[in-house]
Every structure is written in structure tokens, then in C-alpha cells.
Structure 1
């Protein structure tokens, strides 16, 4: 009984101290809802988050599988968008592109997006700091989310493709070579752009220059 009361007290504490932000929710069925939401996460035991239509209203639990997109706004005017997507892995080996797409989806933070391409961070969880900036977090124990995945998605693609990762200062042998092979596989068919990748114009831990170069390449 004592353990049950302790557990209930913990749940009450979490509920009372949960941080809500102005939000627009796009459900998997196409319905849009506006109100106040917690931030989604990819923590192991998380499968839902709280949402309420009124700031002082009673929260309801929304299952991640029922939500496609979450857009939150902070008091200082910053807006952040999350997409709930499967992760696709690609690699070019012996002239063939091999790929695998996850069965489960993950919440990804949109870092940059245009009609040509979207660039995402995917971590274990997300927090907004006191200055209104979004922080993508990894595990503290070297687990599955020890790095932040960097992903790309173009129109017509249902999954986001993992291109590289930020590894928090860790040295990964062959990281740049693997990044170039993966990026080349992702952009299969874009011969001139692949040449720039293979000439080591871009780096694994910062995809923004690659993304902007691709946008210019498609426009020209």
C-alpha cells in the first residue's frame, strides 16, 4: 500500500509540474487540434503525451501513434515543429543501394525545411531552456540514444533517412567516409551533386551546408 501511495504521489508530482506550451496538433487521421501540449519524446517507456484545449483545463493523454505532427510556440515567439516518422537507413555497397526502414516511428525536430527537403534532429528527448531555445538531448548512460541522429526527407518520402549523427565529441573511426557513402546513396541519381559529396565538400556532423547546397542545386 505504501508503495502504491508513493507511486501515485510521483504521478501527481509529474502531472502538476509538467510543462505545457501553446501547440497545434495534427492527428494521424488528418484532424487538427489547437491548445497546449507537452513536448513529445523518444524515451523508452514513453508512448503518449498530455494535451489540453484550455490552459487551465484537464489534460488528456494522446498516444504517439495517433499523432503525426506537433508544433509548439514559446512565450518569446519561438516556434518548433516535430514530425513523427519512421527512420530509413541506406548505404551504397558494391554498386548497390541497400536500405532498411524501422517499423516504429520516432519524434524528430525540424531543424530546417523548404519545399525541396527537410532536415531533422532525432534524440532521446527534447527540452526548451529558459531562453526559449530547443535542446535535443541524448541518454546520460551511453544507451541507444548516445548520439543525435541527423536525417533528411524529400517530398514523396514517407520515412526520414538517417545520414549521419552528432556524437558528442566521441571519435568514430571512418565517420566521414561512412557519411559520404550514405549521402551518396540517399541522393542516388543526382550525379553532379554526388560528385561534390565525394570531393569532401560537406562534413558528417553538420548537414545544413549540404542541405542548402542541395536546394541551390535543385533550383539551378
Structure 2
């Protein structure tokens, strides 16, 4: 059974197709290509279910799970759904404040808005339920609690490779990665693939309050 892990990269997506221990890295040009992949589950590091008026419970729980483990700041609160139609960052901040009763929007969250919107459109009606939101830092720390350094550092990348090695042939995958793909995005895609396998096997951990958004997407994060 093949599963796919996906991480956003420069308006495209880095995919990690995992079959057994073998993992193959590729560049997928858009959300439609992600959904077209032959995979039982797609684990994607991108918000799926979006609140209309406040912070998602899954983001709060994910930050709490990573607090004190060097990665709580990696969980950006997902924008409210209305932000997807914003003209620019100033407009997005105004929309967020109005929708939430005062909460603005970080630049990091706004930078994701275009990719979130593209994925939201591609998921369709009813949503493709084999596509599940994941978060690589939760996966890495579940695999190995020695993962503690930033993913951009040599120590952090070595820690993540060490964490993935028992469950997949990650070094071979990195050696054969498409030219130009950064190690950080390739490793995040591999961690997302591990989460996708756990989801397919029915053993994943998920956080959230069970609610679904206005387009019937679940507001949850799994790993």
C-alpha cells in the first residue's frame, strides 16, 4: 500500500511516496497533481479545515504538544476561511480582525493563504477524505524524542534523518531527490508520509475538537 506525504515548496509541492521502506521524492506542480497521486492516504502539511471565526482547537493542541520540545512556534494558527479571498496582507489582516473579533494574522499564515486556497478548491465537494492534514514536527518528535534542534541546522537535519531511518530508506531518497529540492522540505515530506501510513493503518494520533468547517472539512491534525 502506497501513501504520500506532501510539503509545500515555492508554490509547488514536494511529495514523498512511501511503499514499504522505499520512499521516492518528487516535485508536484499543483494541488491537482497531489490529489491525482496513487496513494491510499495523502498526508499534507497544510491547513485543510478552516474556522470562520476563531483559532482552531487542533492548532492550540498541536502547539501544546510541542511546547518545551523546541517546535511550538512551528504551528502557525490557520487563517479564517474569509482570508482566502483577501487582496493583500493588509486586507487579510482587516478581514481576520473583523471575523475573529480582534485577532490579526501573522505574515507566515498569510504566505500560506494561496496554497491553502488552491488545496481547498482541489479537494472539491464533497471533500476528498483520504487527504489529511499533518504536521512534520509532531511526527519527528514521536519518532525520536531526541529531535530538538531547528530543521535548518546541520544538527537538526541529522536528528531528523536519524529519526526516519528506522522506518524508511530516507538516505537513499535524499540521494535521489529532484535537483534543487531543499533537504528541509524533503525531510518534512518524508515525515508526512510516515504520518500518512499511520493514518492508513488506523494507529495515528489526531488532535482537534471533532468539528468540521463550512465546507465539511475536518479541523484536525494527525500524525
TMscore range, shorter length: under 0.3
Structure having greater relative contact order (Cα 8 Å, sep ≥ 6): 2
TM-score under structure 2 normalisation?
0.27
Whichever of the two has the greater Rg, that structure is: 1
TM-score under structure 1 normalisation?
0.27
